[in-house]
Amino acid sequence: MSDTGRLRRFEGAALRGVWRYEAAQFTRYWKPQTFGALFEPAFMLLAFGYGVGSLVAAVAGISYRDFVATGVVGTAALFLSVFPAMFNGYTRRVFQHTYDAVLAAPVDLHELLAGETVWTAARAGVFGSAPLLVGMVFGLDPAPGMLLVPFIVFATAFGLSLFGAWTAARVASINSLDYVITGVVTPLMLVAGTYFPMSSLPGWAQVAAHANPVFHCVELVRHAVFGFRPLADLGHLAGIAAFAAVAWTLALRTLRRKLIA
């Protein structure tokens, strides 16, 4: 007997149930989350924009302050998706057994994973765009393309949340997530053109960056703010989608092994 018979379609009622749980959690924690979302990019902009910006006037034809304001969006997309997915995922699976409770209800694993990931990505889409607002306070010129930034962040955070869910399902203990943070999350942040241009990195790193959704996110955000490059941007979207597709497969497979024995 296999579990292939479990319904694969997504039911709205199941997704709404998962979102109701997330909403209940959010109403409890929205204040610290909002504080972090707004003030962290402000501090980054102050530190990098004014600190390093006093040494570097312009990068790739734009002021360093604007370069960082757009780059921090990628960092926000990364942090706002990977960390909740990793720590909530591990805690809910191992410590609280929340997933067992949800899967005993009429919710299938793929719906639970999709529901959680979409929620995390949506929240990242809203909060992850805050650096642009902060950047505008510091002098970044508004542009119509900025309206697309929440969607770019959402798409990026969707894949990164799945990556976080996958790692949370794989690690043997919550402390092992430190390896992921140092060994994967930090390079994802740095090899993405966030705080310095990709051209300053070695050739192999520039090639490797194409597997990094944060790099694609930062490129898309900069193009949304300073002018789209349609062909390149399609490539960046494809990069984000490919990362999400691989992460979805890995996360679902690993969680199924852990939760549906």
Partner 1 sequence: MGHNVTSVTQQTNALALRGVVKRFGDRAAVDGLDLTVERGVCLGLLGPNGAGKSTTMRLLTGQAVADEGAIEVLGFPVPRESKRARAAMGVVPQQDNLDEELTVRENLEVFAHLYRVPRGGRAAAVARAVARARLTGRERTRVGDLSGGMRRRLLIARGLVHDPALVLLDEPTVGLDPQVRAELWGLIDGLRAAGTTVLMSTHYIEEAERLADDCAVMARGRVIARGAPSDLVARHAGKQAIEHHGPPARLAEVERIAHAAGLPTRRTGPSVTVLRAEELPPSALEALGADGFVRRPTLEDVFVILTGERVE
Chain residues binding partner 1 by CB under 8 A are 1-3, 5-7, 13-14, 16-18, 20-21, 24-25, 28, 96-98, 100-108, 259-261
Query: How far is residue 178's CA from residue 184's CA, in Å, rounded to a whole number?
Result: 10
CB of 34 to partner 1, least distance (A): 18
CB of 105 to partner 1, least distance (A): 4
CB of 125 to partner 1, least distance (A): 23
Q: Max Cα separation, the chain? A: 66
Query: How far is residue 215's CA from residue 143's CA, in Å, rounded to a whole number?
Result: 21
Helix 12-44 with 64-90: angle, nearest 10 deg: 140
Query: How far is residue 191's CA from residue 197's CA, in Å, rounded to a whole number?
Result: 9
Q: Which is nearer to partner 1, 105 or 245 (CB)?
A: 105
* Contacts of residue 247, Cβ cutoff 8 Å, sequence gap at least 6: 159, 160, 162, 163, 165, 166
Q: Which is nearer to partner 1, 100 or 141 (CB)?
A: 100
Q: Which is nearer to partner 1, 21 or 196 (CB)?
A: 21
CB of 210 to partner 1, least distance (A): 38
Q: Which is nearer to partner 1, 107 or 214 (CB)?
A: 107
Q: Which is nearer to partner 1, 28 or 31 (CB)?
A: 28
Residue 146 to residues 97, 112, 142, 229, 242, Cα–Cα distance (Å): 40, 31, 7, 15, 24
Query: How far is residue 120's CA from residue 87's CA, in Å, rounded to a whole number?
Result: 12
CB of 3 to partner 1, least distance (A): 5
